[in-house]
Structure 1
Amino acid sequence: MLSRRKLLSAAVASSALSLGLRPTGSEAADEYPNRLIRLIVGYATGGNVDVPARLFVPELQRILGVPVIIENRPGASGITAAEAVASMAPDGYNIIWGTSASHSVSVVAMASLPFDPVKDFAPITLISEDPNVIVASEGFPAADSIEAFLAYVKSHPNTPIGTSGPATSGRFAVELMKPKLGVELTVVPYKSTGPLLTDLAGGHIPLGIMGASTAVPFIREKSIRAIAMTSLRRSSVLPDVPTLNETVSKGFDAVAWSALFAPPGTPDAIINKINAAMKEASELPAIKKWFAESGLEVPMSSPEELTSFMKADIQKWVQVAKENNLKIDVQ
C-alpha cells in the first residue's frame, strides 16, 4: 500500500503538471518515486529472463513504496525493447532488464544497431551472470572429458553445435573457441533453448551450448551430458564440470549476463535509489535461494562498475567478430 507521503507527492506532482509546470531534475529525484514504475523485459513471459525479473518486482514495490509492473516487449534478442527504452523520458519510471544479447553481442550481431549500448543508457546495476555449458546428446561418443571432446571435434571438422539463438553469448563462445582451441564447429542457431534441448535429448544434434541455469535440470535427469563450462570458475550447481579456463585455455571466459538500465540522462540520485533497492532485494533469502539453485551468480554492482564491465565485454566480442569475419542478422 502506498504511504500517505507518496500519495501526497503524487497529488502535488499531478497538480503541477496540470498547470504546465515541470519539476527540475533535483526536485524530481527528491520526490522519486511517486507513481508506477514499469520494468521492461525484452523477452517473452515465462522465459529465463522474465522469471528472475518477476522475483524482484514485489520486493521493489515494498522497498520503493510504489507499484512496479513488468511489461514484456519481446523481439530481436531484446533489441526491440532496448531501442524503445533508449528514447523514453529520463525520469526513472521506465527501466529495462537488459542482457548480454541486447547490450553487448548486439554490437557485432547487427549491421546497424539502433542504439549505442553504453552511451544511450544510464547504467544501474549488474544483476546476474549465467555461465555457459557445452553439452552433448546421450549418444555423443566423446563427452567424458574436455580432452576427449577436443580430440573428437578436431578429427571430425564442422561437427554441428546448437545455440539458443544467432546472437547469444553461447554463439559467441563457440566463435571464441575456434581460434583459442583450434577447432572448426558448425553453428546451428535455434530460435530458443527449448527446441535445442528437444533435439539434443532426441539425438538429432550432437552438441549444444546454453546457460547453466537452463541446462542443469536436463543434465541431472541425464537427458544430456555436460562437457565443459565456458566461465572462469566452475558452477556452484555443476561443481564436477571443469572449465575451459582451468584445463585447455587459460583465461577463457564467455558468460551470459543481465543488468538494469534507465534511459540516458536519468539523474544520478534516481539511479542510486534504484540501485540500492535492487541490492537490498538481492539479499533476501528467497531471492538468494532461487539464484543459487539456478546456478546464477548475483554480483550486483555500482553503475560505474557496470559500465566498465560492459565496455570490456563488448570489446572482447568485437575482437572475436573481427578475427572470425563474423556477421550475424538477428532480425
Structure 2
Amino acid sequence: MITKERPPALKPPELQRRYFWKDIWRDWQLYALLILPLAYFILFKYVPMLGVIIAFKDYNMFKGILESSWIGLNAFREIFQMDAFYNALRNTFVLNVLDLVIGFPVPIFLAVMLNELRIQWFKRTAQTVLYLPHFISWIIIGGMATQLLATNAGSVNVFLNSLGLESIPFLSEPLYWITTYLGTGIWREAGWGTILYLAAMTGINKELYEAAEVDGATRARKMWHITLPGIKPTIVILLIINVGHMSAIGFDRPFTLANPMVADVSEVISTYVYKVGIQSARYTIATAIGLFQAVVGLIFLLTADFVSRKVNDHGIF
C-alpha cells in the first residue's frame, strides 16, 4: 500500500506569515484605500521631522540642512536665557489651563442638554447653530471681534455708551482680553466637541434608561448615573489629548486677537516662534523652541495617560 507523504508541518511563524499574506490578498481593496492616507502622513508628517536637526546646526539656507555646521545644544542654551521665551511659555500654559478648566466641560454640558431634548426639529436646529462657528476662520472671527468689541468704535461699546455706561476694554486690557480669548474659543469650538459626545451617547444601551424610568429615576438622575458614565471613556480620551496639547497652542487664535497693548499676556509660543523664525530669520532658534515644545507635550501626554490608567482604567495607549 502506497501512502502519500504528509507535507511538513508549518512552524508558527511560517503559519502566521502565510495567513498574513492570505488576508492581504483577500482584502486587497481595503488595504489599497490606505495607500493615500499613509502617503500623506509619511510625506507631510514624518519626512518633515528630519528638519529637527536644524535645532542642532547653525542653519544657512544657502548651504542647506546637511551642509550647515553643527553647534550642538547652543541654541537651547540661548533660548533658556531669553526672558521673552519664558514669558511666551508662561502665557501658553496659562491660556491652555484656562481653556481646559473653563472650556472643556462646556461641550459635555451642551451634549447632555441636547440629548434630553424631545422635539427633534429643535434639537437638530440647535445642534447645527452650535457647530457652525467651527467652520469660520479665526481671521474672520478676529475681524468680527474687532468690529464688535473695540474700545472706541466697537458696536458693543457704542451701545453701552448710548445707555450712559462706560466702554469696556475687551481687547486692550489683559484681564478683559483673556476673557475675550476664552469666550471666542468656547463659542467656536464648543459645538464641534458636542458632536463627539452626542455620537458617544448613541452607544449607550437604551434599556438602561427604561429600567431607570421604571425605578422612578428622575431625568437628572438618569443623566448623572447613565449618560455621564456612558460617555466617560470619550471624556477621558479627549481630556488626555487636551492635556497633551498643554505646551502647544494654535497660531491663528492668539495672533488675530492680539495687539501691542496686551502683548504681555497674548504672546505665546506659536506667535513667538513666528516672530523669531520668520520675521527675524533665526531658523535654528525657532526649530529649537518647536522641538522643546514637542518634547514637553509628549511628556504631558504620556503622564496624563499613565495617571488616567491608574485612576480610571481608561487611556489612549
The TM-score normalised by the length of structure 1 is 0.24
Q: Could you say which structure has the higher strand fraction?
A: 1
The TM-score normalised by the length of structure 2 is 0.25
Q: Could you say which structure has the higher helix fraction?
A: 2
